[in-house]
Amino acid sequence: MPASNTSMQGKICMVTGANSGIGKETALGLAKMGATVVMVCRNRAKGEQAQREIQQQSGNQGVDLLIADLSSQQAIRQLAQEFQQRYSQLHVLVNNAGGAVPERQMSVDGIEMTFTVNFLASFLLTNLLLDTIQASAPARIINVSSDAQTKSIDLNDLQRTKKYRIFQAYGEAKTALMLFTYALAQKLEGTGVTVNALHPGVVATNFMAHAVPSAFEPFIRPLISVFKRFLIDSEEGAKTTLYLATSPEVEGVTGRYFEKCKPKSSVPISYNISMQKKLWDIGEELTGRTFNVALPTL
């Protein structure tokens, strides 16, 4: 865990999905440690409310807000450009935003939404900010994944055109995020930039409610309210993210998966270098963007 006296003074941190849940608690924790925090939120009104609350609770006015819908590649590009116009450094990038939709839905770019928001958005945003991150080394990239990862992943149908099941789609997207995490960590070895991922625990957020098909919502919602009583809260869920973002204990540690501030194994397929390369190529094809670093040879 980050020590209570850990200082992030002089550090610039970006947290996506920062207006509620784990993202908001992560932004608050970083602000309390003195960091300049850049919140990325989709909804301006909710973002501004969360920004005010974080400033008040942390006593830190260095909490900035950028608005972007991460399901849109153009919005992600505008976000990166706006950030780089305001800041010349980025010491911590927390790719926290995620979610799932109950029925198959396409993004504005014509890409399946669950895959887009849980993997492709992080892939593109990290790519666009990578030069700034490398120039700020030592720096850290943290991807919020999940133990919902699947044991297999169909790279020929990542957009679930054959059959869409929400939890299968979500799990595959989080598996893709793990493949990306390990590949990027290898690419950045020795640069002073670390890349790690984590499972925050089963957190009582609004994810489950949004994941229920509308036809079943009247029946499922009461059960969700009961189930939430047994889940951890967002503050607890943010602890591992904050640990990876701030703790001296993980300085220089890269290419690992964490839960409860301890390393653990992700699904076996996520360590497959050939799969990492194939997914990387797919990410570059779908975003039209090539990372300016070379993958290790097989």
Q: Helix 21-32 crosses helix 44-58 at what angle (to 10 degrees)?
A: 40
**Residues 38, 41: Cα–Cα separation, whole Å:** 10
99 within 8 A of 210, measured Cβ to Cβ: yes
DSSP state of 233: P
Q: Residue 110: what residue type?
A: G
Mean pLDDT of 147-162: 94
Residue 293 included in any domain:
no
**Residues 65, 177: Cα–Cα separation, whole Å:** 25
**Residues 270, 11: Cα–Cα separation, whole Å:** 31
- The residue written with tokens 């790279």 in the block is 155
Give me the percent of the chain exceeding a pLDDT of 90: 82
The number of CA neighbours under 13 Å toward the Cβ of 200 is 30
pLDDT(2) > 90? no
The pLDDT, as a whole number, for residue 208 is: 46
Pairing of strands 193-199, 12-16: unpaired
Question: What total number of domains does the chain contain?
Answer: 1
**Nearest C-alpha neighbor of 126 from the set 184, 74, 186, 176:** 184
The pLDDT, as a whole number, for residue 294 is: 56
Residue 127 included in any domain:
yes
Mean pLDDT of 54-72: 98
The size of the chain, in residues, is: 298
pLDDT(273) > 70? yes
117 within 8 A of 170, measured Cβ to Cβ: no
- The residue written with tokens 């209570």 in the block is 4
The pLDDT, as a whole number, for residue 232 is: 52
Q: Residue 8: what residue type?
A: M
213 versus 95: the higher-pLDDT residue is 95
17 within 8 A of 41, measured Cβ to Cβ: yes
Mean pLDDT of 11-27: 97
CATH code, domain with 173:
3.40.50.720
Residue 298 included in any domain:
no
pLDDT(73) > 60? yes
14 within 8 A of 90, measured Cβ to Cβ: yes
Tell me the per-residue pLDDT of 204-255, one tens digit each, with 9 for 90 and over.
Answer: 455 544 444 544 344 344 444 444 444 555 678 799 999 999 999 999 999 9
**293 falls in which pLDDT band (50, 70, 90)?**
confident
Residue 188 included in any domain:
yes
pLDDT(4) > 90? no
**Residues 6, 21: Cα–Cα separation, whole Å:** 22
What are the E-state strand segments in 73-179? 92-95, 139-144
The pLDDT, as a whole number, for residue 203 is: 54
The pLDDT, as a whole number, for residue 215 is: 46
Using CB atoms within 10 A of its CB, is residue 9 exposed (0-12), middle (13-18) or buried (19+)? exposed
Helix, strand, coil percentages, rounded to 5, for the chain: 45, 15, 40
Residue 220 included in any domain:
no
The pLDDT, as a whole number, for residue 149 is: 96
Q: Residue 256: which domain range?
A: 12-205+234-287
Residue 181 included in any domain:
yes
Q: Which residues contact residue 273 at a Cβ distance below 8 angstroms, ignoring those fewer than 6 apart?
A: 183, 296, 298
Residues with catalytic function:
170
42 vs 48, 65, 117, CA distance in Å?
A: 11, 10, 12
Residue 269 included in any domain:
yes
66 versus 233: the higher-pLDDT residue is 66
The pLDDT, as a whole number, for residue 292 is: 73
Which tokens sit at 36? Answer: 């300049």
Mean pLDDT of 27-37: 98
**5 falls in which pLDDT band (50, 70, 90)?**
low
Tell me the per-residue pLDDT of 173-208, one tens digit each, with 9 for 90 and over.
Answer: 999 999 999 999 999 999 999 999 999 976 545 554
240 within 8 A of 259, measured Cβ to Cβ: yes
224 versus 43: the higher-pLDDT residue is 43
pLDDT(296) > 70? no
Which tokens sit at 150? Answer: 């699947």
**Residues 141, 284: Cα–Cα separation, whole Å:** 19
Mean pLDDT of 247-270: 98
Residue 297 included in any domain:
no
61 within 8 A of 55, measured Cβ to Cβ: yes
The pLDDT, as a whole number, for residue 224 is: 42
Give me the percent of the chain exceeding a pLDDT of 70: 86
Mean pLDDT of 271-278: 97
The number of CA neighbours under 13 Å toward the Cβ of 120 is 29
